[in-house]
Amino acid sequence: MPTSKKPTSSSVDPTPPRDRERRQRVQSAEMGMAVLKGLARLGGRASLTALSAHVGESPAKVHRYLASLVEEALVVQDSGSQHYHLGAEAIQIGLAAMRQADPIRVAEPALVRLRESLEVTCFVAVMGNKGPTIVRFEEPGLPVTVNARVGSVLSMLWSATGRAFLGFLDESRVRAMAEEEMMAAPAELRRQLDPEDPLGVLRRDILAAGCAPVQDTYLRGISAVAAPVYDYTGRVCAVLTALGASGGFDPSADGPIATAVRREATVASALLGHGTAASIGV
């Protein structure tokens, strides 16, 4: 009597049916998100061939997921070119995320990292009605004594924070504040600036450095470096600043402190969607 062939262990999935179904749903969701994110990273519009190559899956498989995304209005297919692009629901999700992006909340972890890694005082400032205003402040174990706290309004022209706004935020009111300060400043301070084009040369130097360093400019014995934080529209919405006693603080644009401040500002900008809006055409 012939005996029935028992299935080998390799042909049997020991996973319980309910767990197997749950795993398949998770994998399906992950693949759908990969397709959606791939479309966004390709500029929000792409052919099936380009999108398949980007996510590393076959066109047939990607097409199945695109069909589901189209049903949910997350993706739309152009009837003429047959290209796929982000749909109304995807845009609404993106806009909701952008609206809730808070530069102060996003910058807080950056301040902690700067404080702990560099052991310097650091803060984040926003542009207020009266000028650059500190909104978060972090001090190391041995703080530097400075007359600046949350709510303090800083100089537009002589502080690193103000110079970062001047250099990277091209707005008429910012330039007007800087010009007003320059006209009211004593000759000793004005001599630090270019005599022919004081604000123009200063802005160009700041842009070239990617940050605004100062040494004994705003406060004698205090040096600082500041870098801009951008929102999803590409506008400077905040400035990260690190400061310390000039004797042990390297304010050079290519030094470790400036490098760390620029890096943290870049991370905060990315979390606020900087670069994303331009890539999808919002």
The residue type at 16: P
Residue 259: its pLDDT value, please? 95
Nearest to 242 by CA among 102, 134, 169: 134
pLDDT tens-digit readout, 118-176: 888 899 999 888 889 998 888 876 666 666 778 888 999 999 999 999 999 988 999 99
Q: Return the bridge partners of 228, or none.
A: 239
15-98: CATH class: mainly alpha
Which contiguous run of DSSP H or E holds residue 193? none
Residue 228: its pLDDT value, please? 96
Report residue 189's pLDDT band, with 50, 70 and 90 as the boundaries: confident
CB atoms within 10 A of CB 153: 16
Question: What is the C-alpha to C-alpha distance for residues 29 and 99, in angstroms, rounded to an integer?
Answer: 26
Q: Hey, where are the domains in the chain?
A: 15-98, 101-280
Question: What is the C-alpha to C-alpha distance for residues 109 and 119, in angstroms, rounded to an integer?
Answer: 15
Question: What is the C-alpha to C-alpha distance for residues 231 and 272, in angstroms, rounded to an integer?
Answer: 5
Fold type of domain 101-280:
Beta-Lactamase (3.30.450)
Contact 38, 54 (CB under 8 A): yes
Overall pTM surpassing 0.85 (yes/no): no
